[in-house]
Amino acid sequence: MTAIQVYDTTLRDGCQAEDITFTLDDKLRIAERLDAFGIHYVEGGWPGSNPRDAAFFAEAKKLRLTHARIAAFGSTRRYGVTCDVDPNVRMLLAAETPVVTIVGRTWDVPVEHDLRVPLDANLEIIDDTVRHLRARVDEVIFDAEHFFDGYRSNPGYALACLRTAAEAGATLLCLCDTRGGSVPTFVGAATRAARSAVAAPLGIHCHNDAELAVANSLAAVEAGAVQVQGVINGFGERCGNANLCSIIANLQLKLGHTCVPAGSLATLQQLSHFIDELANREPDKRQAYVGLSAFAHKGGLHVAAVQRRRDIYEHIDPALVGNHQRVLLSDLSGRSNIVYKAREFGIDLDSRDPAIVQLLADLKDLESRGYQYEGAEASFELLMQRALHGYERRFRLIGFRVIDEKRLENEPPLSEATIMLAGPDGKMEHTAATGNGPVQALDGALRKALIQFFPEIQEVALHDFKVRVLGSDGGVGAIVRVLIESGDAHDRWGTVGVSHNLIEASWQALVDALDYKLYKDCKQTTASDRAGAPEPRRAARAEA
């Protein structure tokens, strides 16, 4: 078992992704979280490239990191300028980090046509810069830019660049697939050639332009690399960087290497979602290992199988990476799906129960009309309770009306909703509310009416609202599906509504969202009361 260093460049290479921006506070929080997870190196950015990166290195000195070392990133000195006056080199040293990573050209084509310097002069630049920095900082990592393209074009020169950096004192040579177009077999062969040419440790840094960044990174490790660079969740310039979530899990669970503490691996999904939250990205549900769908099962045959042996369709125990098994409900569902979901909700069912057969038929009929319960499990639980136990909503709609009005062209429209409903004691409530749209107005009026009977409704917040047009044949009269995510201080839940009318579909989802809150609180109160009540047989034995 080999120990593999993990070098995270989320704060530098990841920030070069389209639509990704981190505040200074975000960057500091990410650095602390990566350190707690067990990452070995955290690359903070390019000192002097922007005020935020400069501020990060100043503030990072105050962090009490216990595992990770902060690295500053920059480039080799300019042609014709000495290191002691080169502004980039000076800013790297001013960052006062224990590790400096410098990028240098190793492909003859950009050396001659981009830098426009002789090949020997580029070797001198690499040598001077590494020696200058190595005399002043603990570690100097040489990022061999375009190494794999250079090795393909002119292998002798690419390897000469590595030898130069190693002889100058670089503590690690990182082979970069800068264009992201290499394939694993070539990456493995080129890494082995580098391993034979130099004694210094090797790293790997891959981009994902051919969807092979993770595979290429693993190939390099198998060929002798001892450090992997990448980004949590894999975002980055163009098509992104190697995804450290997948790399860490594969190295540790599949290939037997050690990257992070075993306890940290069980928080991998939490780390992934934390980074996405600060990046203001919706987590990719289909992301390997940590995605919400990574261990989700929909087909009835699959569900029946994983209930007998989960490893029939799951390549690892989801808990190893902090994930969990999920069963989805759709028109592909079988009885096993219903039984599984019932158990999730604390209901023990027999798959031969006639009620299951009817519920499954109802579910498939509803989904044929456009309902979808994969992201609306609260609506499904209410549906199941109605079918199996005769559950009834604790309030009843009499009617509602929504008016949209725009008085002047240059003024925003105004929406007003009026609702009349009956509470649990039959008392009528007639309320109205305004909003910047019909759904907000309807939500406001509904809450205003229900709070009179159920004050706990105030705890519910609407977190997400999605509208999907189902088919294009109907044009503006097509059926629409509305998915709403709501939550309180303890949970989040999804609900669904379907109709030709957007307001009606929204109403269905809104009502289910608030009804589920009442149902959930009532269920928890009942369970708590049962837990607190004395168990009859134990009481009898005690008296005896």
Helices 24-37, 268-278: axis angle to 10 degrees equals 170
pLDDT digits (tens, 9 = 90+) for 64-107: 999 999 999 999 999 999 999 999 999 999 999 999 999 999 99
**Span 43-70, pLDDT tens digits:** 999 997 788 889 999 999 999 999 999 9
Cβ atoms < 10 Å from Cβ of 479: 17
Mean pLDDT of 366-395: 80
pLDDT at 310 over 90: no
Give percent above pLDDT 70 in the chain.
85
When the pLDDT of each residue in the chain is averaged and rounded to a whole number, the result is 87
Q: What is the pLDDT of residue 465?
A: 87
Average pLDDT, integer, range 451-468: 90
Instruction: Please tell me which residue, 76 or 348, carries the higher pLDDT value.
Output: 76
pLDDT class for 295, splitting at 50, 70, 90? confident
Between 43-47, 276-280, 480-484, the lowest mean confidence (pLDDT) is in: 276-280
In the three-class reduction of DSSP (H, G, I as helix; E, B as strand; rest coil), residue 392 is classed as: coil
If one compares 52 and 3, the residue with the highest pLDDT of the two is 3
Q: What is the pLDDT of residues 402-439, one digit of tens each?
A: 999 988 888 888 999 999 999 998 899 999 999 999 99
Is residue 331 scored above 50 in pLDDT? Answer: no
CATH number of 5-260: 3.20.20.70
Q: Can you tell me the distance from the alpha carbon of 420 to that of 63, in angstroms, rounded to the nearest whole number?
A: 56
Task: Please write the tens of the pLDDT for every residue from 225-263.
Answer: 999 999 999 999 999 999 999 999 999 999 999 999 989
DSSP of 313-372: T-SS-GGGGT---EE--STT--HHHHHHHHHHTT----TT-HHHHHHHHHHHHHHHTT--
Nearest to 217 by CA among 193, 240, 241, 197: 241
Return the pLDDT at 351. Answer: 57
Q: What's residue 537's pLDDT?
A: 37
pLDDT at 343: 61
Residue 48 neighbours by CB distance under 10 Å: 18
The one-letter amino acid at 525: T
The residue that leads in pLDDT, 357 or 271, is 271
The larger pLDDT score, comparing residue 342 to residue 147, is at: 147
Reported confidence tier of residue 535, pLDDT bands at 50, 70, 90: very low
pLDDT at residue 474 greater than cutoff 80? no
297, 286 contact by CB (below 8 A)? no
Domain residue ranges in the chain: 5-260, 296-389
Q: Name the band, by pLDDT with cuts 50, 70 and 90, for residue 30.
A: very high
**Which range among 186-195, 334-343, 486-495, 499-508 shows the weakest confidence by mean pLDDT?**
334-343
Where residue 450 falls among pLDDT bands split at 50, 70, 90?
very high
The model's confidence at residue 540, banded by pLDDT at 50, 70 and 90, is very low
